[in-house]
Amino acid sequence: MLRILVIVAMMLLSPSLLAANQTRYISDDVYIYLHGGPGTQFRILGSVEAGQQVTSLEETQGDYSKIIDHKGREGWIQSKMLSKSTSLRVQLPAIQAELEQTKAKLESALDSSDNNAAELSQVKSQLAAAEKALASASLERDNAKAALANMQKNERFEMWKQGGFIAAGGLLLGIILVYLPRPQRKPKNRW
């Protein structure tokens, strides 16, 4: 039973009732007259410029729809002249404002790009200086390693040389001691 009531209620709420007093626009490519009734035989109340915003009252008779124009006048115009899409007259200022914002962002990005290019150039020069300093430090390190290796080599040579002198001196002393006359021993039977 509840379903039937819901279906009947939905049928009663037709799209024309839900669409009443919706904003519509006059087509951009026309200049039309607002009539006092649904046809050209009724008196002209005024004109509506192309792209002007109007309020559709969703009342139609034949090829005509009842509207309220931007000046608050109620009248009839041909239905084919109404459009649901926003007119160019309304879109143009919004698009121009968006264009100005985009231009400002582009200029800001270009200025930022120029600043970034200057910063990049500065960073590159700093990097080149750091690489030069690194190369110099590496050369000094290599020279110091070579000097240390040379010193260690000389130190070992000195140790071998001193060891050789000591050995030669010991050998010479041993030879000399062998050829030295020995003291004669006193015979034991002598006093």
- CA distance between the termini of the chain: 160
pLDDT digits (tens, 9 = 90+) for 87-108: 777 777 888 888 889 888 888 8
For the record, the structure tokens of 191 come out as: 């006093």
Quick count: other Cβ atoms within 10 Å of Cβ 52? 19
Whether residue 7 is predicted with pLDDT greater than 80 in this model: the reply is no
98: its two tokens: 């968006």
Average pLDDT over residues 110-124: 84
Lookup result for tokens 């021993």: 185
Flag whether pLDDT at 27 surpasses 80.
no
pLDDT average, residue stretch 126-131: 91
Whole-number pLDDT of residue 35: 85
Percentage of the chain lying above the pLDDT 90 cut: 21
DSSP calls for the chain: -HHHHHHHHHHHS-HHHHTTTEEEEE-TT--EEEESSSSTTSPEEEEE-TT-EEEEEEEEETTEEEEE-TTS-EEEEEGGGEESSPPHHHHHHHHHHHHHHHHHHHHHHHHHHHHHHHHHHHHHHHHHHHHHHHHHHHHHHHHHHHHHHHHHHHHHHHHHHHHHHHHHHHHHHHHHHHHSPPPPPPPTT--
Range scoring the smallest mean pLDDT among 13-17, 18-22, 25-29, 36-40:
13-17
Band of the pLDDT at 40, cuts 50, 70, 90? confident
- Sign of torsion, CA 126 131 132 134? positive
Q: Which residue has the tokens 């430090």?
A: 137
pLDDT digits (tens, 9 = 90+) for 44-100: 888 888 778 888 888 888 889 999 988 888 999 888 888 787 777 777 788 888 888
Does the pLDDT at position 164 exceed 90?
Answer: yes
Residue 150 in tokens: 């040379």
Full strand arrangement of the beta sheet holding 53-61: 44-48, 32-35, 74-78, 64-68, 53-61, 22-26, 82-83
Is residue 167 predicted with pLDDT exceeding 90?
yes
CA distance 81 to 65: 9
pLDDT score of 127: 92
pTM for the model stands at 0.41
